Amino acid sequence: MFQAHAALFLYATSPVHMGSGQAFGLIDNPIARERHCEHPVFPGSGLKGAIRHRFHSLPGWTEDEKGEKLLDRLFGPESRAATLHAGAISLGDAQLVAFPVRSVKQGYVYATSAHALARAARLLAQLGVAGMPATPTALAPGQTCVANPELLNTDKLHLEAFEYRNDAPQTEKLEKVARWLADKALPTGDAHAYFRDKFARHLVLLADEDFNWFSKNATVVEPHVRINNNTGAADSGGLFYTENLPPETLMLGSLMASRERSGKDNGLDAQTVLAQVIGAINGQLLQVGGDATTGRGLVAARLINGVSL
Amino acid sequence: MSTPAKSTKSAPVTLEQKRAQYAWQYAESGIGVSGDKYRNLAKAAPALIMNNGLMQTLAFLNSKNERHHQALAEHIRRWLSVRGGGPDRDVGFEAGMKAMLDFAPDQYRQATDEALLILRWIRQFAAAL
């Protein structure tokens, strides 16, 4: 079992394409989603690979057998290795916490729902991370609760082509959650100050179904064509549509560690394993998912250590 | 046990089958009218709706005034009419827009969803035909 836990917040600073292969749907290359609520998801296996890869670019990292051995001890050896053992690190799927939506007032808002916040609170509790304020209760469809009246036209919030009635009683609850997430989940440092401040002021609560709709229909969908070398124009037959999670999306995953499983006498304990990984990625920019060479998949990682459970 | 019904053409069992059935007709007629142009437009239409909205997309299709644009717009409107409990015919650009302007937000969202669901099928069938 895993003895050490941490919450892993991932904040997208570019579009992210964690794909789910080819689909026969609306989009040729859709992003991975959860089956039951269709929220975008970062599969844990993809995160694990991205984090393992991140070690290679650490200052002082040398590409040699010693380094690979350490990675094998932390993440597990290749499937064809002579001695097989499990890795000591477990990455959970990252779930959706807040999703950016175009707004008439203030450019865009960070939308969330009671369901998304309750799931975040549940995961944090499971990881032994205390302190998240009580989450608001679910709203009726067409209602909203905003942390800041500057988003409203009288009592209405306008997101894309839709209008939501503000329901004020839970404002205080939402404000506390927004402030806490802005402080704990968003990236630190001056470069991100604007976004922390905006998150605290412009987190809006929507009904679960309204939020799900935006998370499904307000992603970044882009056409791709193949350019013909001779004509410089688009070739026929190369058209496809690809989907990305928009920048400014906030996701939450889990990072768990056990003692090293390689069977060595002087194996690392769980806390040391966790500290190694946290040291490598906390506060760093990771590249996750596909289309890395076209600037996709940049996420800022922030970890909160959980108490041992 | 009752005896199985005679194998006449029975009504579709699920809504998704009904969508497929209608989309097949639409795709056949669209390909018949303008072949590849209709195929590529059907491929592009979901992204147009997702990025710009249903009404903007219908207005754009109407403004282009080419046969494949007209055909696809007509097919979307026909399906929305069917799903709204109306007949399987195109109410026309103006009437369709006027109706949507009066939609409550949840109705407009449902119409958008339905347009995307029928396009999902049209897109596949158009590529296969």
Please state, in angstroms and rounded to a whole number, the distance separating the CA atoms of residues B92 and A47: 49
Q: What are the respective helix, strand and coil percentages of chain B, to the nearest 5?
A: 75, 0, 25
Tell me the C-alpha distance between A185 and A180, whole Å: 8
Judged against a pLDDT cut of 80, whether residue B48 lies above it is answered with yes
Residue pair B68/B30 in contact by the 8 Å Cβ criterion = yes
Q: What element of type H or E holds B27?
A: helix B15-52
Contact partners, residue A124, CB within 8 Å, separation at least 6: A7, A130, A132, A252, A304, A306
pLDDT category at B5 given cuts 50, 70, 90 is very low
Instruction: Region of B42 please: left (phi>0), alpha (psi -120 to 50) or beta.
Output: alpha
- A197/B contact by beta carbon, under 8 A: no
> From CA A52, how far away is CA A74, in angstroms rounded?
9
Among A185, A171, A93, residue whose Cα is nearest residue A131:
A185
Q: Encode pLDDT of A265-302 as tens digits.
A: 788 999 999 999 999 999 999 999 999 999 999 999 99
Buried b (16+ CB within 10 A) or exposed e, B10-24: eeeeeeeebbbebbb
Mean pLDDT of B76-81: 96
| Residue range A20-63, pLDDT digits in tens | 887 777 889 999 999 999 999 999 999 999 999 999 988 888 88
Query: Average pLDDT, stretch B100-125?
Result: 93
Question: Averaged over B36-56, what is the pLDDT?
Answer: 93
User: Are the beta carbons of B30 and B71 closer than 8 angstroms?
Assistant: yes
**What is the torsional sign of CA B19, A161, A244, A48?**
negative
Among residues A297, A309, A299, the alpha carbon closest in space to that of A256 is found at: A309
Angle at A305 between CA A299 and CA A307, to 5 degrees: 155
- Chain CA centroid to CA A298, Å: 10
> Nearest by CB to B47, which of A142, A160, A241?
A241
Q: Do B120 and A222 touch (CB under 8 A)?
A: no
* Distances, alpha carbon B55 to alpha carbons A75, B41, B58, B60, in Å: 50, 16, 5, 8
Whether B11 has a pLDDT exceeding 70, the answer reads no
Q: What is the pLDDT of residue A44?
A: 97
- Res. B13: pLDDT tops 80: no
Structure tokens at B114: 């339905």
Residue A264 pLDDT: 81
Find out whether A157 and A146 touch, Cβ atoms under 8 Å.
yes
Integer-rounded Cα Rg, in Å, for chain B is 16
How high is the pLDDT of residue B115? 97
Is the confidence at residue B2, as pLDDT, over 60?
Answer: no
pLDDT at B8 over 60: no
User: Rounded CA gap, A73 and A261, in Å?
Assistant: 7
Beta bridge partners of A220: A244
Contact A249, A100 (CB under 8 A): yes
A219: contact with B, CB 8 A cutoff: yes
What is the pLDDT at residue A81?
81
Q: Under a CB-based contact definition with an 8 Å cutoff, are residues A189 and A183 in contact? A: no
A 228-287 residues with CB < 8 A to B = 239, 241
One-letter amino acid at A287 equals: Q
- Cα distance between residue A135 and residue A83, in whole Å: 47
Q: Where are the alpha helices (DSSP H) in A10-149?
A: 44-55, 65-75, 114-126
| Alpha-carbon distance A218 to nearest alpha carbon in chain B (angstroms) | 6
Under-70 pLDDT residues of chain A: 308-309
Q: Is A110 left (phi over 0), alpha (psi -120 to 50) or beta?
A: beta
Measured between CA atoms, the residue of chain B closest to residue A159 is B105
CB contact under 8 A, B46 and A142: no
Inter-chain contact A141–B116, Cβ cutoff 8 Å?
Answer: no
Rounded Cα distance, B19 and B40, in Å: 20
Chain B 4-33, CB below 8 Å of chain A: which residues? none
Q: What is the pLDDT of residue A191?
A: 97
CA atoms within 13 A on the CB side of A165: 10
Chain A residues with CB-CB distance to B55 below 8 A: 161
